[in-house]
Amino acid sequence: MSAADERPILGDQNNKDWMAQLSEQLWDIPLYNLAIPGSHDTMSFCLDMNSPIDESMSGILKIVDRIIPCITRPMIFKWSRTQEDSIAAQLEAGIRYFDLRIARKKNDTSNNLYFVHGVYTFVTVQKALEDFAQWLETYPKEAVILSCSHFEGLTEDLHNHLIWSLKNIFGSKLCPNTEIVTLRNLWKLGYQVIVSYDDPAAEKHEDLWSGIPYWWANRVDPEMLVEYLENKKQRGRPGGFFVAGLNLTAETDYIISHLSESLKKLTLQSYPYLMHWVQKQSPGPGKQCLNIIAGDFIRSEHFVSDIIALNKKLLRTDTGIH
């Protein structure tokens, strides 16, 4: 293990109920105008290294994996794992946006669905949703945004099964897409779960929201990532929920030429620079304001606390909003 991998992960200890602790001045601001911490590829903490490779991976990698899995599997793990904390631990840390990439394993004849990033998870979608619901029972003033996407290998029947599971598990906690999403209103009505479902199958369901735009730089260099996000800001934010991704992306040629590195090492080295940029951002409805900020290894560099702290910039003073 490298020195960077051995560096301690700095946890955010007091954010488990940060929404409930926000100033009353912020209770009537829509959630899409607040700063909300999120996790990129939320479920990659439980990747199953014995599972098949993601169907979207390159054909060459699949062939090599069949011949020398002892080499490919550790490499896939090093660059596909973006989180180390369970759902409950991420919630306790203060994460409120979750990037859930859902898939059906090839040749699986059951209704079981999994999450995918390079390989599939060993935790099923059903179990993960139940974990969210259980945690929310303890924290009735916290709300989460579950961004469901990819849906690799899902048939119409499996979409229907998944949507039924979402409604069955969360029930009256599901917030309709027609609702005013301020904390005060969510608390009044008992809503805690906003499900974004990035597929046409959701169109006829009022309690499912459309896909949430994700600003993905697709860069391995943190300076280029920030440049990309600044360019997106110049063009103006969307009107509703959207995500600014702080996650770095390494292409195959980079990985092959940096065999001693890992996504974790790369992320930890970059976070001081990236979080310095985050601290200069502001939430709100303005053209260059941010909303959800998602990243990898979310306990690093006070990631969560720094994002939540941005909401203080929305507080009114005698001289106006600062």
d(CA 142, CA 49): 33
Q: What is the DSSP track for 153-186?
A: T--HHHHHHHHHHHHHHHGGGBPPTTS--BHHHH
Tokens 């991998």, residue located: 5
Asked if residues 95 and 304 have their Cβ atoms less than 8 Å apart, the reply is: yes
d(CA 26, CA 29): 5
276 catalytically annotated: no
How far are the Cα atoms of 79, 80, 81, 191, 259 from residue 74, in angstroms, in the given order?
9, 10, 11, 41, 11
40 catalytically annotated: yes
d(CA 169, CA 178): 21
d(CA 302, CA 280): 15
Q: Which two tokens stand for residue 261?
A: 């590195």
Return the SS3 of 17. Answer: coil
Query: Which of these is catalytic: 117, 150, 258, 302?
Result: 117
Closest C-alpha to 103, from 47, 58, 64: 47
Catalytic residues: 40, 117
